[in-house]
């Protein structure tokens, strides 16, 4: 089987230009991260999960997740919750904000989510899960997708039982991360379940879990027949992995490229979140960009001690002077795209 990850596929009427989907990751998938993913080859990018209760109560921080830029399309906004009516209301807000796809999280393993009856808990409650999908599909016109784990417990096959019911209720695609909620991110994803799910449903199945290289993606396509693969942690601070999956012969990035991409990402994140929020948010990204054998670990530790983002920039340029011109080039190549948003308080948009 020849795997062409650059070929398009469809979720409902929405064309996805490559077989790579950038995962929704809490505390990571801000707009700057999603735009970067699209620029490096992701066919579909996803927001971090958004609380439907937060949208229902018009929480400003939650509403801020509905900030959408034209150059990140196609974009899925992911919501979570357990009440069909509130989920449907949140879905209408996501559609109004301009999302191309509405995704629902039926896989989050974090206790503060599962104890509310949301996330992976819904895999063990197929009637409730199907009712939520049905309510959301009736409320909006854009495609609805669902991201699942295998179930709450190790060895569970709940996803195979509930998945077809979600499609009957209107889901246009399913994503399966075949670890249990109990596993969190340990062990290995059991993609034999992904292959079984592909046989059970007639909508695209996106395979998630343990996708870090072209070989991983190729093997998943061959072994499961999935429509696309979802790339998560492997792309944190490493957007080049997406391009390398599309072109296995692509060279690794030069130090100048790494630093330039990091500085550009810092500036875009600061524009999105404002300087105060961005300073804390970005600290984890220094290690993600600069490790992987690219720079000494001590360099990352030095950066997190600096007082301001301007100080971090200057230290990066001092270490790799050639990166400065590359940042200028990136800003010319990728000017900020207009945001399409709801009529929301300007305080939501960070620095404005």
108 is catalytic: yes
Is it the case that residue 149 has pLDDT exceeding 50? Answer: yes
Determine what percent of the chain is predicted with pLDDT higher than 90. 86
Is it the case that residue 298 has pLDDT exceeding 50? Answer: yes
Return contacts of 3-11, CB within 8 angstroms, 24+ apart: 3/217, 3/218, 3/221, 3/222, 5/214, 5/217, 5/229, 5/245, 5/246, 6/41, 6/246, 8/43, 9/43, 9/204, 9/227, 9/228, 10/204, 11/44, 11/101, 11/143, 11/145, 11/172, 11/173, 11/204
pTM of the model: 0.93
Q: Which of 46, 52, 108, 226 is catalytic?
A: 108
Is it the case that residue 291 has pLDDT exceeding 90? Answer: no
Mean pLDDT along residues 18-42: 96
**Residue 198: how many other CB atoms lie within 10 Å:** 19
Least reliable range by pLDDT among 34-38, 101-105, 293-297: 293-297
List the domains of the chain with CATH numbers: 9-246 (3.20.20.70), 255-349 (no CATH)
Give 242-263 pLDDT, tens digit per residue: 999 999 999 999 999 999 999 9
């Amino acid at each position: 089987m020849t795997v062409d990850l650059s070929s398009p596929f469809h979720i409902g009427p929405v064309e996805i230009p490559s077989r790579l989907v950038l995962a929704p990751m809490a505390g990571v998938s801000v707009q700057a991260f999603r735009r970067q993913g699209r620029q490096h080859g992701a066919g579909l990018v996803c927001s971090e999960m958004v609380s439907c209760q937060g949208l229902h109560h018009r929480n400003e921080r939650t509403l801020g997740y509905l900030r959408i830029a034209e150059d990140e399309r196609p974009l899925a906004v992911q919501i979570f919750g357990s009440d069909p009516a509130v989920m449907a209301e949140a879905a209408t807000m996501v559609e109004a904000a301009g999302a191309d796809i509405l995704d629902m999280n039926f896989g989050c393993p974090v206790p503060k989510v599962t104890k509310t009856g949301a996330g992976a808990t819904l895999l063990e409650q197929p009637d409730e899960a199907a009712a939520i999908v049905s309510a959301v599909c009736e409320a909006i016109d854009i495609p609805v997708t669902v991201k699942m784990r295998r179930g709450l417990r190790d060895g569970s096959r709940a996803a195979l039982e509930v998945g077809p019911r979600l499609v009957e209720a209107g889901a246009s695609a399913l994503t399966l991360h075949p670890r249990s909620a109990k596993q969190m991110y340990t062990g290995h994803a059991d993609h034999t379940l992904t292959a079984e799910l592909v046989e059970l449903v007639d909508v695209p199945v996106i395979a998630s879990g343990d996708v870090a290289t072209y070989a991983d993606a190729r093997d998943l396509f061959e072994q499961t027949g999935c429509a696309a693969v979802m790339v998560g942690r492997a792309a944190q601070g490493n957007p080049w992995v997406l391009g390398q999956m599309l072109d296995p012969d692509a060279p690794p990035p030069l130090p100048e490229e790494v630093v330039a991409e990091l500085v550009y990402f810092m500036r875009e994140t600061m524009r999105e979140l404002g300087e105060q929020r961005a300073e804390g948010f970005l600290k984890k990204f220094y290690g993600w960009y600069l490790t992987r054998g690219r720079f000494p670990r001590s360099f990352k530790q030095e950066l997190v001690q600096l007082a301001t983002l301007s100080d971090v920039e200057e230290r990066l340029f001092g270490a790799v002077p050639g990166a400065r011109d590359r940042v200028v080039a990136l800003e010319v190549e990728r000017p900020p795209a207009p945001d399409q948003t709801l009529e929301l308080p300007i305080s939501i948009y960070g620095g404005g």
